[in-house]
Amino acid sequence: MELNQYQKDIFEKQKPVIETYGKKTWGWTIFFLLWILVGGYALYLQVADGHIVTGMRDNVVWGLYIANFIFFIGISYAGAVISGLLHILHVEWRKPIIRIAEIITVIATMIGPVFILLCVGRLDRLHHLFLYPRLQSPITWDVLAITTYFTGSVIFLYLALIKDFAIYRDAKLNIPKWKQKLYSILAIGYRGTPSQKRHIKISTDLMAIMIIPLAIIVHSVLSWIFGMTLRPGWHSSIFGPYFVLAAIYSGTGVLIMAMWVYRKMYKLNSLLTDQHFVYLGYIMMVLGAAYGYFTFSEYLTAWFGSAKWDNEVIEKLFTLEYYGGWFLFTNIAGILLPILVVAIPFTRKPGLITIASFFMVIALWVKRYLIIVPTLESTLLPMQDTRPEYIKYSATWVEWALTFAGIATFFLLFTLLSKFVTIIPISEFGDKEKTAAGTTASVKEN
Amino acid sequence: MKQQEEINDNSRRDFIKTAAIAGIATAACGSLACSCSSKKPVQPVGEKVKLLSPEGEIVEIDSAYLNHQEHMAIVSKLEAREGMAGKKFVMVVDLSRCKNARKCVSACQKWHYRPQETEWLTVKLMKDSDKAAPYWFPKQCFHCDNPPCVKVCPVDATFKRQDGLVLIDNERCIGCKFCMAACPYSTRVFNWTDPVMPEAIANQQYSPETGIPARVGTVEKCDFCPDRSREGLLPPCVEACPNGVFYFGDENEDTVSNGDETVSFTQLIKDRAAYRFQEELGTKPRVYYLPPKDRQFPVERGYENLPDQLKARFRDVMEGGAE
């Protein structure tokens, strides 16, 4: 593979990252593995002793796990929508960030469904989902949608990687034989012939178009797990678009955070420029405003209508002794903060945008919790139970351990992948971008 | 647990162990079966009973070797899914007669070998608004004709039968709990731990109609006891109620019975202005309630003599107005 000067520069910068697995990286790897091990023990307890070890009970049948599930599928939108959309629109500055985005997508889509499995009482019967599927059930829709989406995301990521694999293969890197061989296999004989180039381009364009509706379907279906029930706070027609929007929003936040970490870690300031943060910041701001609008509509109508059962949930969210504090937090950190930070020129800086993203992502996680738990704690018939754990949900260490194990798995897979492929794609940059690529937005490709 | 000791009597355990060995076709014996190789020597009483063996031969056995066995009306999985042809089970609950005696709750628990914490049938103390008078409200599964729980099940583990019942196959259930989230009436319960039950019950052949044995990680609920209906018996909750609160029967036959009297279903719900709980949810319950008018007991009667733990459940309503 012939590389132009610019591509060579980018490659040189990242070569050490994929050639070595340094002490620091090992340290992190072991740290993540330890977390996963703790999670493994928690899972063992949950399987051996039953779900009694969790905080879930007959009223609040779902808790942390489902919140995590929505959260991870949500951040997977980083690659699907951001990268897919920017690809379709031929936005030039996307090039250095698409790989980060797509890796987030694939990893998050792998981890998300694990959390829904943790809610399942009989893991030994998962095959029943395929032996006796019922199309009426939103869970079946979810199984279909997520597997399709995952396959699509993997293909989308891989298509963008083929050219790079060919570059790694031909670059005579200082790496073990198996890795060399793996690159060679994964490059599937790509030599950069015009026909090969054309095929990859067509496939990538197609996948970029397909991944967007797929992503929208996945999160809509996910929201319908709640929306299809007759419960207050769930049975809402805006749940589909509301969830989709929240997902793109949190995906953007995670993308900004990942960009910041990589820029810092590998000193990629010339590639992941301040301008990238600002552009993604703008996207985040617009999404934040839309998300705020949806939130306002959702809770205004429920509160104004104040049907008895709806009101029970609303009261829990609006009362400080219940979930009021957290609800306030989700609206301040999840809506106002990111909008303000990006809107005010003075605070429109990579560091601050990243901090705002961080709080926003946390706030959106809390919001998912607030969507699930208060509704389940509001039963139609009076609960009249004396067992505190049946009345109010509080997560146990088992659930937290598995939550952190999920986050650790995310980081671990990210680390492993970033040691296997360059986090900034090399082949994406053509001859044109000899100077400061990434800063020239809206330049049309070809 | 006192209740379990009662259940744990030897005769039943012996039966289970030996029934398989003896191989006497239960179809022929109805609710009787042989217990020939019991560990304890059984003295014959001289009374002979004729039974049909699996080979099709008539055999005569001394009745001392036979034990009565409950829950024997086990039908095939397919039959348990289809339900009884021509039937439409229905229940009418007379709220004017309930005084929270809780005999229904314990009878249900005993019949299904469920511990005290597990209430397939619960009695709530309802108070519809600030000024409204509180009343006792027993609640089984409503066996809705438009069941939200059945709609969401991803594996067809919970299903609606032609006789109106909504049952669960706990050998199919994956324990996703979606049905529990979907049921607006909080009817369903989950086995958060390995359920404790007598060995004999744990080894019994499972049927969605009996719900026995319960299994960890699966959902369960009131089943209207179709195994009893097959034997022409009323559900234990109906039989146990000292005040005849529950009328159970068949909508097609237009008869319901509370054990003491058998009446016309249409006449009863017409005369007493029956209603279904939360009709507006559109779930079409198969349980009708007769409003708590002209009550037979003051509501306090169901509260005063309760043990403290149960009292605590209703304290808010009894002593502090509406919730």
Angle at CA B154, nearest 5°, toward A218 and A385? 100
Subunit contact B216:A385, Cβ cutoff 8 A? no
- Residue the block writes with tokens 């059962």: A309
A86-101: per-residue pLDDT in tens?
888 888 888 889 899 9
**Which of A58, A132, A384 faces B180 most closely, judged by CB atoms?**
A58
**Which of A61, A122, A228 faces B174 most closely, judged by CB atoms?**
A122
A-chain residues near B136 (CB < 8 A) = none
Instruction: Return d(Cα B266, Cα B289) in angstroms, integer.
Output: 13
C-beta atoms surrounding A441 within 10 Å = 12
Query: What per-residue confidence (pLDDT) applies to B51?
Result: 73
Span B12-40, average pLDDT: 42
Q: Is the peptide bond before B213 cis (omega within 30 degrees of 0)?
A: yes
- Residue the block writes with tokens 């960890």: B216
Query: What per-residue confidence (pLDDT) applies to B69?
Result: 56
Is A30 within a domain?
no
A333-384: per-residue pLDDT in tens?
999 999 999 999 999 999 999 999 999 999 999 999 999 999 999 999 999 9
Query: What per-residue confidence (pLDDT) applies to B89?
Result: 97
Is A312 within a domain?
yes
Task: Name which of A318-327, A427-436, B239-248 the model is least confident about.
Answer: A427-436
How large a percentage of chain A has pLDDT more than 90?
77
pTM: 0.87
Contact yes or no for A242/A296 (Cβ under 8 A)? no
Mean pLDDT of chain A: 91
Query: What per-residue confidence (pLDDT) applies to A14?
Result: 86
Is A337 within a domain?
yes
The answer on pLDDT for B58 being more than 90 is no
How close B51 gets to chain A, by Cα (Å)?
A: 39
The answer on pLDDT for A249 being more than 90 is yes
How close A379 gets to chain B, by Cα (Å)?
A: 7
Span A53-69, average pLDDT: 95
Instruction: Return d(Cα A103, Cα A153) in angstroms, integer.
Output: 9
**pLDDT band per the 50, 70, 90 thresholds, residue A5:** confident
Size of interface A-B (CB pairs under 8 A): 136
Q: Which two tokens stand for residue A375?
A: 């509704």
Span B79-87, average pLDDT: 93
Q: Give residue A237's domain range.
A: 229-382
Q: Which two tokens stand for residue A159?
A: 């298509």
Is A335 within a domain?
yes
The answer on pLDDT for B167 being more than 70 is yes
**Residue of chain B whose alpha carbon sits nearest to that of A309:** B184
How close A35 gets to chain B, by Cα (Å)?
A: 26
Q: Which element (helix H / strand E) includes B198? A: none
Span A244-249, average pLDDT: 95
Is A81 within a domain?
no
Subunit contact B186:A126, Cβ cutoff 8 A? no
Query: What per-residue confidence (pLDDT) applies to A297?
Result: 94
Residue B110 phi, psi (nearest 5): -70, -45
How large a percentage of chain A has pLDDT more than 70?
96
**pLDDT band per the 50, 70, 90 thresholds, residue A265:** confident
Pairing of strands B66-68, B262-264: unpaired
Span A238-260, average pLDDT: 94
Subunit contact A122:B175, Cβ cutoff 8 A? yes
Rg (CA), chain A: 23
Residue A328 phi, psi (nearest 5): -60, -45
Tally of domains within chain A:
1
B-chain residues near A230 (CB < 8 A) = 148, 182, 184, 281, 283
User: How would you classify residue B273: left for phi > 0, otherwise alpha for psi between -120 and 50, otherwise beta?
Assistant: left
Q: Name the H helices within chain B.
A: 2-7, 10-22, 26-29, 77-82, 103-111, 148-152, 178-182, 199-202, 226-230, 236-240, 265-271, 308-320
**Residue of chain A whose alpha carbon sits nearest to that of B148:** A229
Pairing of strands B158-160, B166-168: antiparallel
Is A417 within a domain?
no
Q: Residues of A103-114 as b/e, b for ≥16 C-beta within 10 angstroms? A: bbbbbbbbbbbb
Task: Summarize chain B as % helix, strand, coil (round to 5).
Answer: 30, 20, 55
How large a percentage of chain B has pLDDT more than 70?
83
**Residue of chain A whose alpha carbon sits nearest to that of B153:** A137
Residue bearing the bigger pLDDT, B38 or A431: A431
The answer on pLDDT for B38 being more than 60 is no
Q: Which residues pair with B48 in a beta bridge?
A: B62
Instruction: Return d(Cα A359, Cα A349) in angstroms, integer.
Output: 16
Subunit contact A380:B188, Cβ cutoff 8 A? no
Subunit contact B218:A122, Cβ cutoff 8 A? yes
The answer on pLDDT for B24 being more than 60 is no
Q: Which element (helix H / strand E) includes B93? A: strand B89-94
The answer on pLDDT for B14 being more than 70 is no
How close A126 gets to chain B, by Cα (Å)?
A: 7
Instruction: Return d(Cα B219, Cα B34) in angstroms, integer.
Output: 33
**pLDDT band per the 50, 70, 90 thresholds, residue A311:** very high
> What CA dihedral angle connects B230, B233, B236 and B241, to 10 degrees?
150
Span B35-64, average pLDDT: 68
- Residue the block writes with tokens 């309503």: B317
C-beta atoms surrounding A439 within 10 Å = 16
Is A196 within a domain?
no
Subunit contact B186:A120, Cβ cutoff 8 A? no
Of A164, A57, A32, A51, nearest in space to A111 by CA: A32
The answer on pLDDT for A445 being more than 80 is no
Contact yes or no for B117/B193 (Cβ under 8 A)? no
Span B294-305, average pLDDT: 92
The answer on pLDDT for B26 being more than 50 is no
Is A279 within a domain?
yes
**pLDDT band per the 50, 70, 90 thresholds, residue B246:** very high
Instruction: Return d(Cα B266, Cα B270) in angstroms, integer.
Output: 6
Residue bearing the bigger pLDDT, A177 or B47: A177
Of A65, A66, A58, nearest in space to A225 by CA: A66
Span B140-162, average pLDDT: 96
Instruction: Return d(Cα A80, Cα A426) in angstroms, integer.
Output: 20
Q: Which two tokens stand for residue A145?
A: 């949608």
What sign does the CA torsion over A191, A194, A195, A201 have?
A: positive
Subunit contact B190:A51, Cβ cutoff 8 A? yes
Q: Which domains does chain B have, with CATH numbers?
A: 2-68 (no CATH), 77-290 (3.30.70.20)
C-beta atoms surrounding A75 within 10 Å = 30
Instruction: Return d(Cα A430, Cα A2) in angstroms, integer.
Output: 11
Single-letter code of the amino acid located at A390: Y
Collapsing DSSP to helix, strand or coil, A259 comes out as helix
How close B26 gets to chain A, by Cα (Å)?
A: 31
Q: What is the DSSP string of B125-179?
A: EE--SSSSPPEEEEE-----SS-HHHHH-SSS-EEE-TTS-EEE-TTT-----HH
Span B40-68, average pLDDT: 71
The answer on pLDDT for B40 being more than 60 is no
Q: Is A181 on the interface with B (CB under 8 A)?
A: no
Q: Is A62 on the interface with B (CB under 8 A)?
A: yes
Q: Which residues pair with B122 in a beta bridge?
A: B139
Of A282, A273, A227, A220, nearest in space to A247 by CA: A220
B93-148: per-residue pLDDT in tens?
999 999 999 999 999 999 999 999 899 999 999 999 988 999 999 999 999 999 99
Task: Name which of A168-177, A332-341, B283-292 the model is least confident about.
Answer: A168-177
The answer on pLDDT for B154 being more than 80 is yes
Report the Cα–Cα distance between both ends of chain A, in Å, rounded. Answer: 20
Q: Which two tokens stand for residue B171?
A: 């050998």
Subunit contact B175:A134, Cβ cutoff 8 A? no
**Residue of chain B whose alpha carbon sits nearest to that of A51:** B192
B259-288: per-residue pLDDT in tens?
999 999 999 999 999 999 999 999 999 999
Residue A432 phi, psi (nearest 5): -60, -35
Instruction: Return d(Cα A290, Cα A296) in angstroms, integer.
Output: 10
Q: Which element (helix H / strand E) includes A255? A: helix A239-266
B4-13: per-residue pLDDT in tens?
444 444 444 4
The answer on pLDDT for B31 being more than 70 is no
Instruction: Return d(Cα B156, Cα A192) in angstroms, integer.
Output: 51
Q: Is A49 on the interface with B (CB under 8 A)?
A: yes
Instruction: Return d(Cα A105, Cα A247) in angstroms, integer.
Output: 11
**Which of A59, A229, A383 faces B182 most closely, judged by CB atoms?**
A229
